[in-house]
């Protein structure tokens, strides 16, 4: 266990749910760590500001939050987490010695899902944590079903729109670049006309799977934008990195080798790419970034297709 606001972990498997324990007293953190360490990846924060920063950087599956802390108290931490699109879905359990009806009511009003009293009872902690982790898992599954494209299995336009807003705000707050790639299968109408719509659906599925396999980071997102058009969201990615990724996605589709006899561009299915990057700022918007990517895609298509423009 570390004590400098770093990860508190015994390097559990990556699939273990992640829990953030927030308390200004190291002994309380140690107690909860010992209770949970066998089943969860436990990290810690010793004040409210640090907790918010950690959650924004990598949202955990559950937060165990003290109420009384120096600086920002637990109620305000919870309120801020619930107000941020990037962290609003993270469940919060208050772990506190304050057990009055008024405190519990306020905690529920600011967004907490449960209260655990101090001193903690290990079986109660395990049971209540297990319940909230399971509810979070079920919610994530339902959200995945709602936000996946039924044909290709990648994210749908609705999920992309939501993630774009979240990542725009996160990158703006942290002064990090954000990049987009718009991708359009070349001469897809001609492909459908020649091979039939069933083959067209198979082509879209294969192209989506090939491109998704080239995404190397959890935050990167490939979505079906509409018809034969896809979009790739690349947080914390500068222009050079986005262009390299666009070229890689183009190769992924081309290397499938799907015959396209009616394409004037290539003998196999290919894809055109438009790239745009920005340092998100208050005076700009995600819509402007999308517009620039669309303009670059138009240039790619006018310039011969099967290429990247940025």
Instruction: Give the integer Cα–Cα distance in Å for 291 and 126.
Output: 49
Which of 87, 139, 145, 141 lies closest to 111 in space, CA to CA? 87
Q: What tokens does 155 get?
A: 């994210």
Annotation marks residue 228 as catalytic: yes
Q: How far apart are CA 44 and CA 19, in angstroms?
A: 8
Which residues have CB under 8 Å from 130's CB, separation 6+?
A: none
Catalytic residue among 15, 109, 162, 228: 228
Max Cα separation, the chain? 74
- List of residues 6+ apart from 193 with CB closer than 8 A: 262
Tell which residue, 75, 264, 89, 281, has the closest CA to residue 172: 281
Separation CA 41–CA 17 (nearest Å): 6
* Tokens coding 121: 């009872």
- Which residues are bridge partners to 272 per DSSP? 184
SS3 state of residue 151: coil
Q: Which are the catalytic amino acids?
A: 228
């Amino acid at each position: 266990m570390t004590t400098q606001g770093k990860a508190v972990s015994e390097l559990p498997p990556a699939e273990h749910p992640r829990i953030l324990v927030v308390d200004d007293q190291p002994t309380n953190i140690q107690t909860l760590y010992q209770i949970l360490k066998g089943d969860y990846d436990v990290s810690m924060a010793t004040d409210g500001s640090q907790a918010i920063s950690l959650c924004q950087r990598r949202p955990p599956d559950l937060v165990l939050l003290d109420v009384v802390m120096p600086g920002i108290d637990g109620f305000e931490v919870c309120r801020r987490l619930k107000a941020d699109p990037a962290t609003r879905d993270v469940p919060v359990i208050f772990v506190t010695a304050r057990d009055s009806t008024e405190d519990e009511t306020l905690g529920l009003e600011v967004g907490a899902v449960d209260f655990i009293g101090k001193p903690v009872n290990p079986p109660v902690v395990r049971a209540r944590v297990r319940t909230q982790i399971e509810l979070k898992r079920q919610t994530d599954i339902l959200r995945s079903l709602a936000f996946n494209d039924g044909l290709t299995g990648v994210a749908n336009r609705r999920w992309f729109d939501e993630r774009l807003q979240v990542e725009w705000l996160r990158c703006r707050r942290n002064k990090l670049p954000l990049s987009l790639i718009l991708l359009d299968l070349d001469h897809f109408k001609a492909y459908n006309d020649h091979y039939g719509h069933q083959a067209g659906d198979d082509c879209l599925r294969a192209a989506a799977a090939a491109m998704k396999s080239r995404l190397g980071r959890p935050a990167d997102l490939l979505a079906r934008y509409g018809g034969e058009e896809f979009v790739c969201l690349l947080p914390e990615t500068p222009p050079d990195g986005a262009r390299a990724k666009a070229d890689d996605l183009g190769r992924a589709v081309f290397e499938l080798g799907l015959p396209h006899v009616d394409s004037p561009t290539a003998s196999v299915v290919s894809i055109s790419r438009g790239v745009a990057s920005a340092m998100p700022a208050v005076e700009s918007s995600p819509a402007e970034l999308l517009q620039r990517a669309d303009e670059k895609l138009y240039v790619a298509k006018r310039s011969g297709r099967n290429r990247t423009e940025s």
